[in-house]
């Protein structure tokens, strides 16, 4: 296992994030998932966040990512949800029809540290959470 580092610390911080579409509307297809995944990667660069694994179902996504100790996770998540919500509704009219004036994502989210579980176990879990 390779540790990350910066000037004064060594760390290994993995997080599992679950985001749910507002009202659990079943609007997430591969195209929309790829779109919001690309946004996650691009915005994550500004927050020292690296995507490790991504999977989706029709109404939610599972995201495994790495972060630095000084990353403001709630600030990043809220910025990501706000930007992606606005752009998804702009780019995908079928989503706008199903959600009307609502945000794309639910207000709440689930963020877990991966704890002592190995990355292989976490990756396998996320792989198995998509399209059932």
Q: Is residue 132 part of a domain?
A: no
Report residue 88's pLDDT band, with 50, 70 and 90 as the boundaries: very high
CATH number at residue 16: 3.30.70.1290
| DSSP E strand stretches across the chain | 4-5, 10-11, 13-21, 49-56, 60-67, 105-113
Q: Which domain holds residue 28?
A: 4-127
pTM comes to 0.86
Tens-digit pLDDT profile for residues 90-120: 999 888 777 767 789 999 999 999 876 777 8
Q: For the chain, what is the domain count? A: 1
Tens-digit pLDDT profile for residues 27-37: 999 999 999 99
Q: Is residue 37 part of a domain?
A: yes
Query: Is it the case that residue 55 has pLDDT exceeding 60?
Result: yes
């Amino acid at each position: 296992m390779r540790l990350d580092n910066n000037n004064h610390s060594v760390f290994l911080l993995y997080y599992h994030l679950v985001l749910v579409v507002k009202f659990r509307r079943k609007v997430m297809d591969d195209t929309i998932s790829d779109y919001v995944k690309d946004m996650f990667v691009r915005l994550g660069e500004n927050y020292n966040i690296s995507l490790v694994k991504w999977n989706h179902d029709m109404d939610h996504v599972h995201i495994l990512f790495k972060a630095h100790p000084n990353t403001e996770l709630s600030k990043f998540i809220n910025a990501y949800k706000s930007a992606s919500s606005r752009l998804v509704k702009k780019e995908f009219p079928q989503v706008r029809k199903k959600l009307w004036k609502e945000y794309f994502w639910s207000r709440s989210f689930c963020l877990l540290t991966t704890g002592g579980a190995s990355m292989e176990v976490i990756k396998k879990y996320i792989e198995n959470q998509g399209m059932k």
